[in-house]
Amino acid sequence: MSTVMKKEEAHKLIDLLPPKATWDDLMHEIYVREAIERGLADSNAGRIKDVQEVRAKYGLPE
């Protein structure tokens, strides 16, 4: 589920990249931004789990 990106936001993202940035650099920045936005949306909607619950599920030490 992708979010709609305004052209102005895309331009700002590109402007923040260094002059010798590659297409891969741009795609990475877009991926990171989308992942952060999805995480924030999940958090705001209450779709979160407690760290102890996740550690217990995977048998990790607390």
Quick one: pLDDT at residue 20?
97
Mean pLDDT for back-to-back runs of 10 residues, the chain (62 residues): 78 95 96 94 95 93 84
Torsion sign across C-alpha atoms 54, 57, 61, 62 = positive
Q: What is the pLDDT of residue 42?
A: 96
pLDDT of residue 17: 97
CA 7, chain centre distance (Å): 18
Which residues, 6 or more positions from 3, have their beta carbon under 8 angstroms from its beta carbon?
34, 37, 38
pTM summary value: 0.70
